[in-house]
Amino acid sequence: MDHNRDAALLTALMDAAADAIIVADRHGVMQRVNPAAEQLFGFSTSVLVGQSVNVLMPKALADLHDGFMAHHLETGEKRIIGIGRDVEGKRQDGTVLPLHLSVGSAEVDGDTVFIAILHDLTARHAAQEALARSQRLDAVGQLTGGVAHDFNNLLTVIIGNLELLQMRGADERQSGLIDDALTSAEMGADLTRRLLVFARKGDLKPVEVDLRELCRDALAILKRTIGERYEIRTDFAKSVSKVMIDPVQLQSALINLALNARDAMPEGGEFLISVADITIDDHYMAQETDIEPGHYVRLFVSDNGEGMPLEAQRRAFEPFFTTKAENGGTGLGLAMVYGFVRQSGGHITLYSELGHGTSFGLYFPALQRARTLQTSGEDQIGSDLPRGTGQVVLIVEDNPHVRKLSIERIRDLGYQTLDAASGDDAYALLGTGAHVDVLFSDLVMPGSLNGYDLAAKVRAEYPHVKILLTSGYASDVITGKMGATGEYKILHKPYRYSDLAERLQALLWSVS
């Protein structure tokens, strides 16, 4: 009786654990795995049980693992037991993820059994990387501000002396040389002013404005300069809160972003400028955007150009970093935008996919009637939000950090989840006979199937599966070259917790 009770308690413990738990024998063969391990590695229990734990490791670690096990059993040295360390794991799709591994051992029926607990460090690593990037930009900003200030003093002396020479009756030849020197000095002064904006030490003149009006004024300039090969679309909300910003700097920032978008579309294309209020009021959305909860007016500038590689995205806001040096790029445009937004009390986000385009989001604190923020996401998971009753949602997302957030969100709403890192993997999973009620897929993914392709196949072959698509772009500016038909409504990232809950309920209660 006690044995049955202990077995039931162990099963309940493993099922309840948020971290992966694996029980293996002395040879490293898995005897039991919990549901969290299935979700983490993408394998089913039936596949894992009976296999070596080496299948969950990159090859380099797997080659060493058996030797570590044998050494521990022979000598009793505890290199890992009871200590814990950071390692790498390997999912079924071959992707590698960071983990914290804790290992314990026990004697069961005269044989050694190992218990491994694995905690996914993907979100922590992403947060650390974002913090390091922010700290690097702040450090560069402090250095840049100091250098720019000193250069301004030097240039003030240079310009002043040149003007004195000019006023004292220089001859025609000397005047030409002085004019050239003054022009160069003024260019240097303009450069330092731009650097001070990045360093958030420039002088702003904020006033209460409507972002839509500022965007319309800037577009009047843009349409005359970018050329006929480029289409500018706008999507302005009917009602938008006022913000307190410098109009000149905002228009300069918008023009910088639009010209960047033009350069990413050498053969022509389209970009979209949208303005709308947005409330960030749950911990998931704040974590996804790295933005403090609050009420904002969001300006999106999206293009359907070449997109940016990961390294360019990481360094996009650093001064003097440019991918267009051969075309005269200075690397100061985005640095200025970043500095202006941050000095205005706002935030900036960047979303880009190679071959599909780029979207910048500028978030400015809204000036509006005092409103009480809703409580965090955990407190919203009450009876006021529509909940699932165990239906299965297949989450398809190639970004591991966003995929993990989506899994947490949807599980907290009372659904079960399966997940895949690409449209191809999701389609293969459905082909195994896995039961799925809702497909929740990103639009842009690696592999042969994008979100629309996957949705079309699922609708044709699995008509009982409901479909919800999501995108990090401000609008469907990229969907023309993805085979879009317009029959799906897109849930745009970042989305609120309540929006996700309502969309899922609406799908499941809709009549096909």
pLDDT of residue 428: 93
374 within domain boundaries:
no
Among 78, 102, 120, the domain boundary falls at 120
Length in residues, the chain: 512
pLDDT of residue 127: 66
Give the bridge partners for 32, in sequence order.
Answer: 23
Please indicate, yes or no, whether residues 304 and 232 belong to a single structural domain of this protein: yes
Give the bridge partners for 420, in sequence order.
Answer: 396
In the DSSP assignment, the letter for residue 480 is: G
Residue partners of 187: CB distance under 8 A and separation at least 6: none
Among 151, 170, 198, the domain boundary falls at 198
Backbone angles phi, psi at 200, to 5 degrees: 65, 35
What is the rounded distance in angstroms from the CA atom of residue 413 to the CA atom of residue 501? 7
Tell me how far CA of residue 397 lies from CA of 86, 489, 490, in angstroms: 25, 17, 15
Number of folded domains in the chain?
A: 4
Please indicate, yes or no, whether residues 152 and 116 belong to a single structural domain of this protein: no
Written as six digits, the tokens of 348 are 């900036």
CATH assignment of the domain containing 264 = 3.30.565.10
Please indicate, yes or no, whether residues 297 and 219 belong to a single structural domain of this protein: yes
Please indicate, yes or no, whether residues 104 and 139 belong to a single structural domain of this protein: no
pLDDT in tens, the chain (512 residues): 466 776 778 778 888 888 889 888 888 888 888 998 888 888 887 888 888 888 888 876 766 665 556 555 555 555 566 567 888 888 888 888 888 888 887 877 777 788 889 888 887 766 666 655 555 555 555 555 555 555 666 677 777 777 777 777 777 777 778 877 777 777 666 666 555 554 444 556 788 999 999 888 888 777 766 767 788 888 898 999 999 988 877 877 887 788 778 877 878 888 888 898 988 776 656 666 667 788 899 998 888 888 887 777 777 777 655 555 444 444 456 777 887 788 888 888 888 877 778 888 899 999 864 444 444 444 444 457 888 889 999 999 988 878 888 888 899 889 999 999 999 999 999 999 999 999 999 888 878 898 889 999 999 999 999 999 988 764 455 555 455 555 677 887 777 788 889 899 988 886 54
377 within domain boundaries:
no
375 within domain boundaries:
no
Please indicate, yes or no, whether residues 221 and 349 belong to a single structural domain of this protein: yes
Question: In what helix (H) or strand (E) does residue 48 lie, and over which residues does it extend?
Answer: helix 45-48
Q: Answer left, alpha or beta for residue 269, where phi above 0 means left and psi between -120 and 50 means alpha.
A: left
Residue among 445, 450, 432 nearest 488 (CA)? 450
Please indicate, yes or no, whether residues 176 and 323 belong to a single structural domain of this protein: no
Please indicate, yes or no, whether residues 94 and 175 belong to a single structural domain of this protein: no
Please indicate, yes or no, whether residues 402 and 503 belong to a single structural domain of this protein: yes
Please indicate, yes or no, whether residues 292 and 213 belong to a single structural domain of this protein: yes
Whole domain around residue 284: which residue ranges? Answer: 207-367
CATH assignment of the domain containing 173 = 1.10.287
Please indicate, yes or no, whether residues 181 and 221 belong to a single structural domain of this protein: no
CATH assignment of the domain containing 480 = 3.40.50.2300
What is the rounded distance in angstroms from the CA atom of residue 280 to the CA atom of residue 495? 9
362 within domain boundaries:
yes
376 within domain boundaries:
no
Among 87, 120, 153, the domain boundary falls at 120
Please indicate, yes or no, whether residues 358 and 220 belong to a single structural domain of this protein: yes
The model carries a pTM of 0.52
Residue among 346, 342, 316, 350 nearest 199 (CA)? 342
373 within domain boundaries:
no
387 within domain boundaries:
no
Please indicate, yes or no, whether residues 155 and 115 belong to a single structural domain of this protein: no
384 within domain boundaries:
no
Residue among 259, 256, 354 nearest 304 (CA)? 354
Backbone angles phi, psi at 161, to 5 degrees: -70, -40
